[in-house]
Amino acid sequence: MSTNQQNLLEIEPLRNLNFWHIWALGVGAVVGDGIFLLLGQAVEVAGPSAILSIFIAGVLELFLQLTLSELAVGMPSAGALDKWSERFLGEWWGYLAGMSWAIAWTLISISVCIAMGRFLAYFIPINELVLAAICVTIFWLLNVRGALVAATTQLWMVIGLVAIMVGLAIFGAPHAVKGFPQNFLPFTPNGLQAMFLAVPMASYAFMGTACLCTSGSECKNIRDLPKALVWAAITFIVVYTLSLVVMIGSIDWRTMSLAESLYVTFAQRIFGTGGAAIVTVAACLATATCTLMGTFYGSSRIFYEEARNGKWPKIFGELHPKYRTPTKGLFIIWLVNIVGIGLATFNVDSVYVFITMLFLCACYITYGLSIISAILYRQRCPDEVKKLPFRIPVPWLTFPIAIVGLGICVYFAALDNPGLIYGLIGLVAPLYLYYSIAVKNRKSDASVPS
């Protein structure tokens, strides 16, 4: 290894992110395109009971985040998800938890940016894939400039997004009152099973909160991590549940354009073209925040930590001497996205569906391993847990709800889409192949005396 590369690997990240930056990372990584594009499908499946579906998904996500809180504050690092599982389950499981999450988030931004290109095409008469490529390039450059620059941009975009969503709920409330109770009946037109089938659709949009755990090596105060986990979850539960109540109450859901964005359809019906334009701005902000910090920040930090530990190419572990960001890793993430957007020109729908399956599998794998690690953390390290500045409230309730919630999401997601198994194979098989060959060989070489 050259002296210059050795110096780059010795540079440490800057600790300059406060609570609001971390909160915005969590909220922004959650919304993405899922809440705007998948919510219509959830309503189509469950009818008005989709309100309960999205609320249940949000509450389950809150409990999932609570299970991560002690791990986040007790073992803060850029590769948090990997570090936790490796300590309690072994190196392969840690590698699987971290890398599946990072790779899935690298890929999901392809579909998210494609969705953003579609939203932006509402305002700009340019091909949606060209717009997607421009956006992903801007997000890459913001992350290269520094975590604080990207996080501050993220914070303002999230504030704008939440303000629009809250404004829609407030100004649409009188219309929802007029539509009560007729627009909410029958509440479960397709039965309770349909309501639970819609839960994974909502959970897809909510799974990104754990991205903020990767800020462990860059947050000013480690106490901010668990607080941000909880408040990010509470934010999207309140905002999206209330907005869905208002939308369904204002307009008979059977007359909505469910194939398109439910929010845009609602705003256009109630507030006219101007309202639709405002909601489209919100959708652009949502997809932007998902990619800006969810993909570029979260993925690059896990790749960075893996590279530092010898489980990923060392180029990902180098930090820029001035900005303290993994610029080469960020460039590779950008390149993957550009190639993916280019491939989408051949069959955009197939690319979108396959990437979504990979993402869901990664979330279920990572959350499952993290819950197990959190339980083992309490069992094996009680003295260490007692000293933490934040501890899980009522753990006897939190852990079972998190386990049951994850089980519900996995079961109904697989029931609704058997193709999930292909996503699982497509994710785990290449990771295991790389781990069994490259990682073991690298560690074997490192153990041989020079």
What per-residue confidence (pLDDT) applies to 79? 80
What per-residue confidence (pLDDT) applies to 8? 53
What per-residue confidence (pLDDT) applies to 449? 44
CB atoms within 10 A of CB 336: 18
Structural domains for the chain: 3-441 (1.20.1740.10)
pTM of the model: 0.86
Tens-digit pLDDT profile for residues 118-144: 888 888 888 888 999 999 999 999 999
Low-confidence ranges of the chain (pLDDT < 70): 1-11, 31-38, 204-205, 257-260, 347-353, 416, 440, 442-450
Buried b or exposed e, range 75-95, using 16+ CB within 10 angstroms: bbbbbbbbbbbbbbbebbbbb
What per-residue confidence (pLDDT) applies to 161? 87
Question: What's the residue count for the chain?
Answer: 450
Map residue 219 onto helix, strand or coil. strand
List own/partner pairs for 91-96 with CB under 8 A and 24 or more apart.
Answer: 91/311, 92/432, 92/435, 93/369, 95/306, 95/311, 95/431, 95/435, 95/439, 96/365, 96/369, 96/428, 96/431, 96/432, 96/435
Give burial (CB, 10 Å; 0-12/13-18/19+) of 394.
exposed
What per-residue confidence (pLDDT) applies to 334? 95
What per-residue confidence (pLDDT) applies to 90? 92
Residue 67 amino acid letter: T
What per-residue confidence (pLDDT) applies to 349? 62
Q: What angle do CA 333, 334, 336 make, to 5 degrees?
A: 65
